[in-house]
Amino acid sequence: MKRSDVAVTGIGLVTPLGLTARDSVRAWESGCAAPKREVKELGGTSLAGAEVGALPEMDAAARLGERRMLKYMSDAAVIGCIAAREATTDANVRRRFAPERVGLYAGTGLAGAGVKESDSMIRESIGEDGAFSCRLLGSRGLPKTNPLLSFKILANMPACIVSILESVKGPNLLFTPWEGQTGAALAEAWEAVALGEVDCALAGAADYPCHPATYVFLRQRGFLRDGEYPSPAAAYLVLERAERAARDGQRVHAEIGEMEAADCGGSSFDPLAPRMGRSFAAAPAVLTALACLTDVAAPASVCGADGLAFRAVVRRLP
């Protein structure tokens, strides 16, 4: 099957360095490191003083032009949707492509971020003996719970909300929860465009691994090494055939010669970690976006906590 050249025509980024691609790249090029905040809930343990990456203040409703859907969205979904909106706007996706011919290929992280909703539910479900009670969960806990909780913890929701807000109706694949899985999603998107299975692919990921329970989990399981910290981030790319972009007069940020996810057989490696923290599922998409936008980017390769390495061959266009 003939493969076509694949162009990147849209990029959206939300990182601790900035809430847009431009701001994130500017901060990256100037050598900034991500601001951090303390995880106060871990005070009184030997993890006291633990830090996670912090995003700048943002008005999500204004960025998305949408308030109603926010109540369904986890933190990861919010930043994923903002990044996706920036990317589709950049590439004029709605104006140029039939929704049925646009595919969605995405990675999503641990669901821990969504469980912050569960605090009141758990509180109401504790019996006089101080232990969790299923009976109390049914009688008191669930009635006190956000009825939309499932939307915030189901792993496919961040990407499904992207599909609704961006009107993406084509083929789709969602993988979870680590870097290599997102890398596989990006590689699938690249291949689907190159082989003509879709006219356009919206590909990326969002992760918000900053909930206190998630932080403890990441430390206890060794996913965070000494000096590393988790960070929220999201990135989406719009991929299309280079000839279509040229025909439409669409600006091309970069061309992707190859994208692949393959067994790395070694310990995880994330070149963003020293300055941006570890955004796990989002990292391959963030790296590729940076490689498309700046010569100061780290190599677009990452070895995930799942033992899968991702590599993109990016040729940035002036």
Partner 1 sequence: MRRVAVTGLGVVSPIGVGGDAFWDSLEAGRSGIGRISRFDCTTFTAQLAAEVKTSLDVPDEIAEVAAQDPKVGFAYAACAEALAGAGMRGLTRDCLLHLGTSLEVFDLSRVIRQGQPDFRAVFDRPSGNKRLGFQMPLDTAAAMIAETLGAPGQSLTNCSACAAGAQAIGHGFRNVRRGKWEIAVCGGFDSLINPLGVGGFQLLGALTTDNDRGETACRPFDASRSGVVLGEGAAVFVLEPLEKAVAEGRRVLAEVCGYGSTLDAYNLSAPDPGGEGAERSMMSALADAGLEPEAIGHINAHGTGTRLNDQVEAGAIRRVFRNCWPRIPVSATKSVTGHLIAAAGAVEMAACLLALIRNRIPPNPSLTRVGEGCELAHATGKAIPFDGEYALSNSFGFGGQNATLILRRYDGQH
Residues of span 161-180 touching partner 1 by CB under 8 A: 161, 163-164, 166-178
Residues from 205 through 224 that contact partner 1 (CB under 8 A):
211-214, 216-217, 220-221
Confirm or reject binding of residue 252 to partner 1 (CB under 8 A). no
Query: In the numeric block, which tokens belong to residue 143?
Result: 């009635």
- How many Å apart are CA 50 and CA 159, to the nearest integer? 29
- Burial tier of 48 (Cβ tally within 10 Å: 0-12, 13-18, 19+): exposed
Cα 178 from Cα 302, distance rounded (Å): 11
Q: Which is nearer to partner 1, 17 or 60 (CB)?
A: 60
Question: With contacts defined by CB under 8 A, how many residues of the chain interact with partner 1?
Answer: 80
CB of 136 to partner 1, least distance (A): 8
262 binds partner 1 (CB under 8 A): yes
Q: Tell me which of 6, 17, 82, 157 binds partner 1, using CB under 8 A.
A: 157
Site for partner 1 in 177-206 (CB under 8 A): 177-178, 181, 184, 188
Min separation Cβ 149 and partner 1, Å: 5
Of 188 and 199, which CB lies nearer to partner 1 in the complex structure? 188
DSSP 300: S
Q: How far apart are CA 301 and CA 309, in angstroms?
A: 7
Q: How far is the CB of 171 from partner 1 (least distance, A)?
A: 5
Please check whether residue 240 is in contact with residue 101, taking contact to mean a CB–CB distance below 8 angstroms.
Answer: no
- Terminal Cα-to-Cα distance of the chain (whole angstroms): 30
Q: Which is nearer to partner 1, 285 or 293 (CB)?
A: 285
Q: Of 61 and 120, which has the nearer Cβ to partner 1? A: 120
Length of the chain as a residue count: 318
Which string of DSSP letters, residue by residue, matches 47-101?
A: TTT-EEE-PPP--HHHHHT-SGGGGG--HHHHHHHHHHHHHHHHTTHHHHS-GGG
Residues 97-156 close enough to bind partner 1 by CB under 8 A:
99-100, 104, 108, 110-112, 115, 118-119, 121-123, 125-126, 130-132, 134-139, 141-142, 145-151, 153-156
